[in-house]
Structure 1
């Protein structure tokens, strides 16, 4: 991949999303479409963004019984996504069925721990240990389930890469040096994540909310 940056294009208006993607398409490697976008625009919206010619990452974070998740994967075949997410906490059978139902060229990656959560949040949901330990456990389960990789924060990607040499690692919650952290709790810079083994760098607000999104994308690309 020449450019590992995927723009998080989670805007509620389709025309605005298309306009933003058009502005930055020469400086990103793909586009991430999440739940907000997919619920608002569905298959039609994905097709509209795909016309720009960039790989599509459907960040749907599927999490249900194995049969339901497999059915959902089959339903999005026609969209030809490059990457789709499921939740690692859905268990091995769910992840196995998700991968079996995915398209031949679609990478299925498991979300381990959201970057908006920290150790206190884990404890409140009954999960013991540190975020680092939790991510490594779920990464091991995802690998055993036959997935292509995981989603994790930049704080864990080096350790996961050391453990899973040929894994495909998606790192969200990234912020360029000096940028506002916002609602993220475990962030690093794009360059830091890339150096530690990230395959895909998901970047949203530092580009989408910049006065000049194209320049912001160029500035991030220049650091890699």
Structure 2
């Protein structure tokens, strides 16, 4: 079996290492299970072994990675996991969904750049990576919602993928808006090749390549 891929670091091929699970410390396993289930996350496993070990696994919608919590799986203080990022393509919709499920989510805020102070409200220019909201589980483990609509160059090596119908629909709307501007620049003529333009735009946006104009 060939396990070497085309991933590269300094020009050399490397072996794929995919982040699978993040362990979060909780004080009450059943309470945490109820909370994450209420968010609509998929329950993958709940394996108790006697009274000293139990592992529960949940996966957020569309995520390739999961979380573990339970009994006897970490010595970290409950609530000490902070800065856990959840990437979304529409932060307002994601925030509304979480609130509708009972989560206490902060107001939206944005940053002018890395290391800059938080400013109230969504990024006024709608920049990718710029808008945030936060919430915590019952133990205080802290989650950060971050809106990403276009990846930085080189950030994604694989072809574009969409993890849910909602994410694909949002990408289509952005492509439609950009294509409308493209047709205006072309004298308002109908572009019969719009499917090709949409496809090129959506792949470029997700893989961090130059967007068509």
**Range into which the TM-score falls when normalised by the shorter chain:** under 0.3
In terms of Rg, which structure is larger? 2
Q: TM-score, length-normalised on structure 2? A: 0.27
- Richer in strand (by share): 2
- Richer in helix (by share): 1
